[in-house]
Amino acid sequence: MSKVELQNISKSYDKQADVLHNINLSIEKGEFFVLVGPSGSGKSTLLRMIAGLEEITGGTLKIADRVVNHLPPKDRNLSMVFQNYALYPHLNVEQNILFGLRAKKVSKQEQQERLKATVDMMGLSNLLKRKPRELSGGQRQRVALARSVVSEAPLCLMDEPLSNLDAKLRAHMRIEIRRLQKKLGLTMIYVTHDQVEAMTMGDRIMVLNNGEIQQVGEPITLYNEPANLFVASFIGSPK
Ligand code: ADP
Ligand code: MG
């Protein structure tokens, strides 16, 4: 259902030089795929193209065997969690979680069923009437995750979702996200610039630098057999 294929994907903004070059990649259904690289390497651009929030200027993008280059985000059957969570400040937790479902014309009854299952699972049941400003960073993060989970989309895209949290909460949320992804069988594309996050969370990792793939592989492979010095120093292996 949710295999993602990138064939010769490239991107340039406003006819400037490419910020991504010839990206070829296949992400399997149910895989936790981590996209890692330094700031400015093109991670968010790639994720936003998959989401449909950024025009693809070269190549072909397929989701579930269908070319989606020109499909609007709402027709791609995916959910997205951003770095800043992007919660609506004037809506309470329940309204924030259900926001996306209203546009999809999910019935009131089904909305309530999905809401209950999701907030129970995420430990948010007693916070439903609070506004985002009345929540801690970790709670806001869980609301953003709940909003993504409640959509029941098989493909989930996350762009540095933990970067605003303190170290302890970050460590906790890594485990939480991995658990959720496994439980729901989600295909996950997870962007981070944090090597530890990449190494501990990913089934596979892709290292990006200057818009080019440096290596794709399992964490242990990147560590033991880095393709080049960049990967070695970025991952922290002793090559
Ligand atoms: P990352 O998420 O890895 O930090 P980005 O995808 O945000 O990298 O950026 C990759 C490159 O594209 C950077 O050089 C950045 O300046 C450029 N870029 C990103 N967004 C835009 C935009 N809207 N217009 C022009 N250039 C952009
Ligand atoms: Mg980014």
- Measured by CA distance, the residue closest to atom 12 of ligand 1 is 19
- Closest ligand relative to 14 C-alpha: 1
State if residue 88 touches ligand 1 by the CB under 6 angstroms criterion.
Answer: no
- pLDDT below 50 — which residues of the chain? none
The CA-CA-CA angle for residues 227, 83, 10, to 5°, reads: 50
In this predicted structure, what is the pLDDT of residue 238?
Answer: 64
Tell me, rounded to whole angstroms, the distance of Cα 197 from its chain centroid.
13
Q: Note the ipTM here.
A: 0.98
State if residue 39 touches ligand 1 by the CB under 6 angstroms criterion.
Answer: yes
- Measured by CA distance, the residue closest to atom 20 of ligand 1 is 45
- Measured by CA distance, the residue closest to atom 7 of ligand 1 is 44
Among 54, 53, 45, smallest CA distance to 21 is for 45
Alpha carbon dihedral 149, 7, 56, 81, in 10-degree steps, equals 20
In this predicted structure, what is the pLDDT of residue 103?
Answer: 73
Locate the ligand 1 atom nearest the alpha carbon of residue 46 and give its number: 6
What order of strands is seen across the sheet that includes strand 155-159? Answer: 78-81, 155-159, 187-192, 32-36, 204-209, 212-217
Distances (CA, A) of 170 to 32, 88, 197: 17, 23, 9
> Do residues 93 and 46 lie in contact, with contact meaning Cβ atoms separated by under 8 Å?
no
